[in-house]
Structure 1
Amino acid sequence: MTDLFIEKGGKKLRCGFTTGSCAAAASKAALLMLIENIEIHVVTIMTPKGIPYNAEITDITQNREEGYISCAVIKDGGDDPDVTTGTRIVAKVRLKDLPGITIDGGEGVGRVTKPGLDQPIGEAAINSVPRKMIKENLEEILESHGMSGKGVLVTISVPGGEELAHKTFNPKLGIVGGISILGTTGIVEPMSDEALLETIRVETKVRIALGRDILFAAPGNYGLSFLKENYGIDESLVVMSSNFIYDTVRIAVAEGFKRLLFVGHIGKLVKVAGGIKNTHSMYGDHRMEILSEISQACLDDQTFLMIKDKLSECVMTDEAVRIINETGKGAMVFQKMAEDIKFNIEKWSEGQLTAEVIVFSNENTELVATARAHEYVKEA
């Protein structure tokens, strides 16, 4: 297989191929071996991105008495930190008399138990693009061999997939028993922002499909832990936005939410108060500058001058919280910060969302909340 590289952040990174591409390649190889009565060790498919995938075929098992052949493709995620890299994606293929391609999941492939996902409840978590790839490749083989009247039953399995799924979002999304067979382009791009955004979008779809009226969101695990420990809110109810605050707001609007509760550490959310849409440090820090501007707006000149230099020298926001609180006006400063966060989130939603905010500091201590934030928590 010829490696595919992309440039990202000044580095040359190797791309990989999705579980969907692996499943399609294994399915194609198995059907060819079944029809032609040969062993195939390399097969080529075309990915939806238009890039060919020359997949190595392993673990070939033939059972002519039962009329099936199975084989595997080992998932290679390239330089992406993908938990499925090294996993065997197995396709078991048999012919059937009735026309049509039937695709199901076996061992290690999850089952959908909640609405709002790519597949209906009860179906194997093999998404629509991988299903289309499998179907098109197998139909092409049947046609080329004069067997268009025949059908094919394909079972995709992933040995060890059930254990692997605990390292993914699947249990939170309501996919049980294994991993998902995924991919929209067939290619895994390392450190893909698009993949993270798609996860946020899928999680948001699930919440709206479950009838949730308020979207609960947090930048990371600290926010999830805060809500769990302080309010008993299950982590499965909360969408993790990572640094994509603006994008999460836009996704919430697109999926039909009218109310949003954003919960996070001051180190992340203070950036939102300053209008920063993505809180990753590559887009700038500015935490202390923003806190300084808010403090100046709330404090008298003399008090602000006393803390101005101290704030500019701070490295961590928790230390800045201590300095501001020592003025005796911390509640006023942080209330304005929370209102600024709320204002920017609602502005980004173009008036389609009512937002409430809870900000915490060190040791999961609640620092400030907007007026109706706790009402939203009670509705969880």
Structure 2
Amino acid sequence: MVTRENHQDDAPETLDADEIFWADLQPWLRSTGYELRRRYRPSWVPSWKQRKTSLFWWEFEDSLKAKHPSVMDAKRTVDGSSVMLKKVRVSDHPMEVELTKYLASELKDEKNHSPDLIDVLTVPEDHNMRILVFPLLRRFDDPEFDAVIELIEFLRQIIEGVQFLHHNRIAHRDIGVLNIMMDTSMYPDGFHPAAPSKTPDFREDAKHIPRNVAHPRYFLIDFGLAVRYEYAELQPRAVPVRGQDKTVPEFAAPGGMQNAYDPFPTDIYYLGNFIREHFFEGKDDKKAKLGLEFLRPLVEEMCSTDPSKRPDIDAVSEKFSVLAGGIPHSRMKARLKSKDEGMWESMKLGTTHAYRKLKYKDHE
């Protein structure tokens, strides 16, 4: 067992309870072909404690903690590729492993925007715990969208991904900013999984190429709350459960959390509200975007307080295609501006956008 005594709970040399879970599994994970970072290896001693140094502790790679209690980065020993490990307690999420395996088996369909599944491991002495192994992915909006066409393509892919799920009678039930990712194609030289702005060795800033060059693929992840129905089930019902979006109208109504509901219209709300909050209104550290008003009628329809008045995903896809198809080419190639940009910020971003267009004009 790994213990760290006589330290502050939030000190970098302290492994928290979730990290200790992974550190305890490290020898077994190595035997299965996956190597954790040195922070999680037996007898780890922080680099900044081993010798006198003028560097601060946060300048050392082994100071980086895992970002999510259920997820850990690792490397495959067979080829050195970066992967992500996710622990799943089957009794808590009984459908997640099988749904993830099913979706991974259907990746030949280009409309399937679920991630590949590299491996499924059963934790020794805990047959209720599985470790799912995925390729390394990256947050969908890091780096920021530069041109209008980039955001339109992102939305097209995510709508397509939800459409694939619904056509396969799968309701995600937790669509939102935390469960949308993209591949690593914008970073051909890689990045550090626990510090995405840094190179894999944690020594320099990671460099990326534009989206119009990389053409990243976007993914819907985390099927812990997802449910699947038979095609013959014409009136699907599910027990209400709250995901990351706490604003679902049907759950807020009196008795809403006690009444069975149809999860497919709720998925439409989740998707519409994600677009509304993240791009129309701005949320957390992200500013609202300008020039997207052509999508507002569709988004408002998707977010109707009455689930029966929301379009199904096929109607969403069709309406989105019509609306996006009506945008002039020059507008699609223009910079995606943010609300409340200051003059100097606007000039800087405009110059960077113009430089990228000139440098990568062959990809336009």
After TM superposition, is the score higher than 0.5? no
Please give the TM-score of this superposition, normalised by the length of structure 1: 0.27
Please give the TM-score of this superposition, normalised by the length of structure 2: 0.28
Which structure has greater strand proportion? 1
